[in-house]
Chain A
């Protein structure tokens, strides 16, 4: 976190030294844009808080560890699509699942959908891209994740 603030701060200071007016305008643009999209972020947070309550880490781990490989891949891509988890939570969790014997292909389906498919971020994405394109992009991403999972499974010798 600190490094993002440090870098942003530095860039802002340099920009201010070079051109005061432009920098103030940039800050104004930032505030206006942020204000416009903030209600959508709140909507998203409400979704996140409820979804994470319904599907906490333990539930997800349980499902991924206790079904057949192929059902697990499907479940994993389902969980990955509906939840939102920062990488610093998702990868340690996947690391633990790996040591518990969950196949690579299942974790690949989980992490890839987690990163690429965003049912929770739908309200946000739709604000910029519209409903149709958001739906198309998410469906495409879902299939990309499945392909990645299958190839991961083949290369780790989990399928054949």
Chain B
């Protein structure tokens, strides 16, 4: 067995043991941690299966050439617009953004576009933005978007170019 797997089994069993003992003894912090774990597990199960099914469909239906053309090395400014639009309409935040970004990359999207996607998925999902504005006011949300989005694009281009020069490759087979 690999070392990583052993470590993982060790801390997961310690964690579970701690929770079980806490529940039996009625130890409050243990109960609260169990509650947090379950509520976040439910939250993730609400979005993750859908996200992965859509990623699967994306992988079989969308041709590599299409992504290369629109989001690849030759894509230009339009590529950023496309990817921000895509990020804006997909729910789930960073959790879902990483696997999607990974699929985009494997289909030929360039790194600066991949990073823009992640940034945009974090800050400008349309449903979330509307929700935010309803609590914080339109001015607050507008400032946040108008300041952060250009910074996300600029830093993504810088980071993307830097990594491309250094022949960076994303992990394989995830």
List residues of chain A with CB under 8 Å of any chain B CB: 1, 4-5, 7-8, 11-12, 15, 22-23, 25-31, 33-34, 36-37, 39, 41-43, 45-46, 48-50, 52-53, 84, 86-88, 91-92, 94-95, 98, 104, 107-108, 111-112, 115-116, 118, 121, 124-125, 127-130, 133, 136-137, 140-141, 144-145, 147-148, 151-152, 155-156
**Given known contacts A8-B50, A33-B174, is B144 in contact with A128 (CB within 8 Å)?**
no
Known: A4-B50, A8-B54, A148-B147. A88 touches B131 (CB 8 A): yes
Q: How far is the CA of A61 from the CA of B55 in the complex (A)?
A: 37
Check A12 against B57 for contact (C-beta < 8 Å).
yes
The 10 residue pairs across chains A and B that have the minimum distance between CB atoms = A30-B56, A95-B135, A26-B56, A49-B36, A49-B37, A29-B56, A8-B50, A30-B52, A91-B135, A26-B60
24 A-B residue contacts at CB 8 Å? A8-B49, A12-B53, A15-B57, A26-B59, A26-B61, A30-B53, A33-B174, A34-B52, A36-B173, A43-B8, A43-B11, A49-B34, A53-B33, A87-B132, A91-B135, A94-B135, A107-B140, A124-B95, A127-B174, A128-B99, A133-B168, A144-B148, A148-B148, A152-B144
What is the total number of residues of chain B having a CB less than 8 Å from a CB of chain A?
Answer: 64
Inter-chain contacts of B148 with A (CB < 8 A): 112, 116, 144-145, 148
A50 CB contacts on chain B under 8 angstroms: 33, 36
- Check B93 against A87 for contact (C-beta < 8 Å): yes
Question: How close is B60's CB to chain A, nearest CB, in angstroms?
Answer: 4
Residues of B within 8 A of A (CB): 8, 11-12, 15, 29, 32-34, 36-37, 40-41, 43-44, 46-50, 52-57, 59-61, 91, 93-95, 98-99, 101-102, 115, 118-119, 122-123, 125, 128, 131-132, 134-136, 139-140, 143-144, 147-148, 151-152, 155, 159, 163, 168, 170-171, 173-174
